[in-house]
Amino acid sequence: MKIGLLDSGIGGLTILKALIEKHPNHEYIFYGDTLHVPYGSKKISEITNYANNIIKFLEKKGAEVIIIACGTLSSNIEKLQSKVPLIDIISPIAGKLDKYQNVSVLATEISIKINAFQKYVKNELNLIPCPLLVPLIESNDFSHLDSVLPEYLKHAQNSDAILLGCTHYPLIKEHIKKYFKGDIICLDNYIVEKIANLKPSSFKLTLYFSKLDDNITSNVKRILDREDVAIERSELND
């Protein structure tokens, strides 16, 4: 099946990588809006406008289903317009977190404000907005993480699990675990089970970014752990 994925940047690649590993028999078309990242601190009307243009682009490329590989947009999925089915990355957590007593959610400012997570979880969630993380992860500059992360993670001290509510955050999972000296469970990527029933086809992978430079290209290859990736720049009209 032709599966479209979209995110504000490289974060959605964490979803794409997991999907390719588990379900290699699909054609994947990814769009990262690196020109407009970060989405999480912008106006909702602005980012849903970007996302709707990306959805049209992916539909033109033949996507039969589109995965919203972004927590911030998944929190606003009802505002997105599409001719093909959209799959969000938040609803797959339904019932999966109830075995943990104290779950903290790390996510963008918009996602935390909307808190689309709580309706899928029985216990009350501890919500922590982390506005500085996406720009640091996109710039590949992890040197400031040691000063920025503790400011967020100190609010998660009593947690027995942390939900990574933004698809960029699995890229710094090791830094998060290090802060807790390894004594924490990081939860992410429940979407993988959700596409198990899609009709298989032959594997193909194409990636588009609204801004492309050497940093993005090397990030893509590092995250996907493969060299054979076709990456194109495609800027969409706002």
User: Which one of 166, 184, 191, 224 is the catalytic residue?
Assistant: 166
- Which residue, 26 or 168, is less far from ligand DGL as judged by CB? 168
**Mutual angle of helices 214-224 and 13-22, in 10-degree steps:** 30
70 assigned to active site = yes
Of 6, 10, 19, 70, catalytic: 70
CB of 35 to ligand DGL, least distance (A): 12
Instruction: Find the shortest distance in angstroms from Cβ 201 to ligand DGL.
Output: 26
DSSP output for 78-127: GG---SS-EEESSGGGTTTSTT-SSEEEEE-HHHHHH-TTGGG-SSPPEE
Interface residues with ligand DGL (CB under 6 A) are 7-9, 11, 37-40, 70-72, 108, 111, 134, 166-168
DSSP element (H, E) containing 1: none
Element (H, E) at 47: helix 44-60
Name the minimum Å distance from CB 69 to ligand DGL.
7
Whichever of 8 and 82 has its CB closer to ligand DGL, that residue is 8
Q: Which residues pair with 186 in a beta bridge?
A: 162
Is residue 130 flagged as an active site residue? no
* Shortest distance, position 87 Cβ to ligand DGL, whole Å: 14
The first and second tokens of residue 97, run together, are 């977190």
Nearer to ligand DGL, 204 or 222 (CB): 222
3-state secondary structure of 192: helix
- What residues are labeled active site? 70, 166
